[in-house]
Structure 1
Amino acid sequence: MRKNFFFLTLFLLFAGFLHSQENQVIQVKIKGAEKLKSSFVNKILTTKKHQKLDSIKLENDLIFLKRLPAISNAFYEVHFVEKNNYEVLFFLEENFTIIPEVNFWTTTNKQFAFKIGLYDYNLFGRNITFGGFYQNNGFNSYGVNFRAPNLFAKKWGLAVNHQNWKSEEPLFFNNTSANYLYNNISFEVLALHQFNLKNSIDFGVNIFSEDYTYLSGATDSSVPQKLNLNKALFKLVYTYDTLNYFYQYVNGFKSILYAQYVLTENDFQNEFLIAWNDFLYFKRVGNKGNWANRLRFGLSTNENSPFAPFALDNNVNIRGVGFLVDRGTGVATLNSEFRYTIYDKNWLAIQTNIFTDIGSWRDPGGELNDFLKNEKLRIYSGFGLRFISKKVYNATFRIDYGFKVYDGKSNSKGGLVFGIGQYF
């Protein structure tokens, strides 16, 4: 018994000696935080005071910080203090995060349209996004958005959104089409949870109504000219993210799964499921190049209805194809582009890019082999410019020109596409 006690005591003394030899963090300091609250940064870091100095935690904290809208770049230093005690300093370069949104364009019927808005992506210095927009495209629309990923704790947050959206949209049926006024009024509440640096989910409910009102074009006795639908939508978004950012450059892989189950009761739509996944891959090429790719595949309940959920559109998937030129119950698209920085100074970077967008759709009520049919295939290529502010979050003005390589259905020869932010 005494022998066992002796060895236990020896073991505890040895373990205590090893623990005393561990490098300890005695201080974590945040440098460069102006609007962003240092107390908030310390809250979301995994590197903590009075814990073991861990190089893996430091690197993960750095990646996490650079993903925040409020931070354009970050780095850290570790300073020896005494014995096994160290001080960790995180140096932040902040973005300007109060961003106006201004867009002008013409609709399919040559109507002048504009959208204006204002968003703060770092409200109260706590990584909260809040703002809204007003749009006029011949009809009045507005939206208000709130998103706080760390509202309750580092890993739990909340998003609340309201939107009243109106637009003139084409519906396709019997090899013809008609233009309808589409009005969507929605209220959405989502819980946000981050499991770890790579994995997170958003889940919640969206209560909305949809109104379709006939404006012009073909008519059919089976397609109503006035339709009002009340719906509830259950949403899940799962994100796997390994992306690492350095100003305008991105490296790594990201997967985003969107799944929605929609409840409705009417003669023209039943309850349906819709899901799609975006696979994104980015690779740095040399000092100035960036290869960017997005593969999207999605399916929905396959009803033979003109109200199919997946749209073919300039601003969403195929640059140069036109505005809302087709719809389907399945989508498969690949966007690939090479970005090259031709100018890079303290606050401004300019990139050129060449791209190819490829896509195919499944017709409403069609088969999976629709994706392989020549008349469904669309290939557009082109080139563009990016003007990037390195000090303002998401302040990238892009302009692309896409021209037709192959299009089995549309007569479009290509065209210009403008936008804010990278295409993907």
Structure 2
Amino acid sequence: MKKFLLLFFLAGTTCGHAQDIMVTELEFMGLKRTKESFLRRLVKVRPNTPYDSLKVVGDVERLKRLPGIANASHEVKAENDNVIVKYIIEENFTLIPGLRIATANDGSFAYRVSAFEFNLFGNNQLLGGFYERNVFDSYGFFWEHPFLFSDKVGIGFGYQNVTTQEPIFFEEGDKDYRFNSEMFEGKLIFSFSFNHEAEIGASLVKESYLFEGEDPLPNRPLELEADKIMYRLAYRYVDLDIDYQYFDGVLSEFTGQYIQFLNGDEPAENFLKSFLSLRNDFIHYKKLGKKGNWASRFRLAAAIGNEDSPFAPFTLDNQLNIRGVGNTVDRGTAAIVLNTEYRHTFYEKGWFVVQGNAFVDAGSWRTPGEDFSQLFDGSSTRLYPGLGIRFIHKRIFNAVFRLDYGFGIGNDTTNGIVFGIGQYF
């Protein structure tokens, strides 16, 4: 009878602290690679403090967001008028190889291979790198420790040397350039609370464009070189309930960058100007029934200070915004993009899931030299509905193998297959 009264009292504590019920012990079950000491730093429930069911629920959701954890739940056990809180953990496999296959802008075979560990040393450090062949060779390395200094502050570093063939869209026509960017990045990572995260960082970049091909355009540069520094601020609001492949809630991410060119040759000073880049992604997820998930992403992006430069920062691309449109089809100095899709689980057994999806991708771009009104006049609008399939491993972090086919609507449109790892958004 005493235990029944205690559990009845616990059920009524969802709006505040239980003054008489204390957490006498905190336990973690199911840990293999993840360090218990690391999780104790992150959770808000502490031994010898009043029991708060809202904190327990919040801890479970935060644990489920960690790359090293596939799922989490909790149990509350009554003991001598107090409670023992148990967190039951199901870990992810976190050493993830990656492969992306595409067609390069010159029609050749392009690929990207990578390997990332998302739970290094059992405290959710990230370590990894990639090699890419996209006409030319590219590579990069990354390390992040989001909780190095405390449960709220971490750090990250990265190096990339990227060389690609990029089409640049001049008024007289598009021409291919060999683009190279060598970048060193450092950043501070903040987890202010359960819902609020931020990053502040800077990157030193050495950038160049070299004309590739025949018949250069008159009065257009054959080569550009410049050094620049990029200051970056990112803020995320996260309110998600995650249950394996199902998401419910919202995520909003704002990214602001100021790109300052430090020095360059004379052509670079005319075409590569310092500018401010702003982008916000608002993502909404809704669980529908037992097997459905509706997901939508609304993106707004704008560049201020380089409105006339053909070397615009926002690209129209298969992998970034419109599935089926092709690789680097166009560039813009502002963009509005809406991606919406319905995901349905057709088969699920143990760790394996087969999920299908039907989507609509739509967007418009402001081309260099045009006004913001171009975003709404229909001249640069793209509309691509499509279908896709997902093969999901529930216990490997981000192990979603996706294949989508987008159908272009309108004149001079294309159709195309897009392959990747991880959900599109």
- In the superposition, the TM-score normalised over structure 1's length comes to 0.93
**What corresponds to 1:372 in structure 2?**
376
Counterpart of 1:291 in structure 2 is: 294
State the match for 1:225 in structure 2: 222
1:28 to 20, 26, 29: 26
Report the equivalent of 1:384: 388
Q: How many angstroms apart in 2 are the aligned matches of 1:168 and 1:350?
A: 36
Structure of larger gyration radius: 1
> What residue in structure 1 maps to residue 266 of structure 2?
none
**In the aligned structure 1, how far is the partner of 2:215 from the partner of 2:338?**
32
Indicate conservation of the 8 Å contact 1:282/1:292, yes or no: yes
| Residue 75 of structure 2 corresponds to residue 77 of structure 1 | yes
Return the offset for 1:412: 3.0
CA distance in 1, matches of 2:108, 2:414: 21
Q: Does 1:359 align with 2:363?
A: yes
Cα 1:227/1:20, change in 2 over 3 Å? closer
Runs of 4+ in 1 over 4 A off after TM superposition: none
Counterpart selection for 2:35 from 37, 59, 64: 37
Report the Cα distance in structure 2 between the residues aligned to 1:374 and 1:123, rounded to whole angstroms.
48
- Cα distance, 1:209 vs structure 2: 1.1
Is 2:103–2:327's contact at 8 Å kept on the other side of the alignment?
Answer: no
Give the letter for the 2:28 counterpart.
I
- The alignment partner of 2:379 has SS state of helix
Q: How many residues align?
A: 402
Displacement of 1:164 after TM fit? 0.4
Q: Contact 1:377–1:406 (CA<8 Å) still a contact in 2?
A: no
Q: Match for 1:303 among 307, 311, 329?
A: 307
Instruction: Identify the match of residue 285 of structure 2 among 279, 282, 300.
Output: 282
Q: Say which SS state the counterpart of residue 144 (structure 1) adopts.
A: strand
Cα distance between partner residues in 2 of 1:355 and 1:43: 40
> Could you tell me which amino acid in structure 2 is paired with residue 223 of structure 1?
R
Decide whether the 8 Å contact of 2:172 with 2:217 is kept in 1. no
Where structure 1 has 5 or more consecutive residues not aligned to the other structure, the ranges are 1-18
> Could you tell me how far apart the structure 2 residues matched to 1:248 and 1:190 are?
30
Deviations 1:375-406 (A, max 9, x none): 21110001000000001000110000000123
Picking from 196, 201, 221, the partner of 1:199 is 196
Matched, 1:322 2:319: no
CA distance in 1, matches of 2:18, 2:248: 39
SS at match of 1:49: coil
Instruction: Give the one of 51, 58, 61 matched to 1:60.
Output: 58
Residue 373 of structure 1 deviates from its aligned partner by 1.9
> 1:236 aligns to what?
233
2-side partners of 1:44 and 1:332: how far apart? Answer: 37
- How far does the alpha carbon of each residue in 1:174-225 deviate from its partner, in whole angstroms, 9 at most, with x for none? 1410001111100000001111111111001111111111112653333211
Render the CA deviation track for 1:73-119: whole Å, top value 9, x for unaligned. 10000101112x21110000100000111223321322122222211
- Give unmatched runs, 5+ long, in structure 2: 1-16, 264-268
Which secondary structure does the structure 2 equivalent of 1:243 belong to? strand
TM-score, structure 2 length as denominator?
A: 0.92
Distance in 2 separating the partners of 1:347 and 1:68: 18
Q: Is the 8 A contact 2:307 2:369 kept in 1?
A: yes
Alpha-carbon distance in 1 for matches of 2:158, 2:422: 21
Q: Does 1:336 align with 2:340?
A: yes
| Distance in 2 of aligned mates of 1:153 and 1:49 | 19
Report the alpha carbon displacement of residue 136 of structure 1 after superposing the two structures with TM. Answer: 1.6
User: Per-residue displacement from partner, 1:243-283 (whole Å, max 9, x unpaired)?
Assistant: 11000000001100000001114232221100010000000
Change beyond 3 A, Cα 1:179–1:365? same
CA distance in 2, matches of 1:21, 1:256: 38
Aligned-CA RMSD value: 1.4
* Residue in 2 that maps onto 1:15: none
Aligned CA distance change for structure 1 residues 220 and 47 (closer, same or farther; 3 Å): same
Matches within 5 A, 1:262-281: 262-264=259-261, 265=263, 266-281=269-284
Please tell me whether the aligned partners of residues 326 and 414 of structure 2 are also in contact (alpha carbons under 8 angstroms). no
1:209 aligns with 2:212: no
* Paired residue secondary structure (2:398): coil
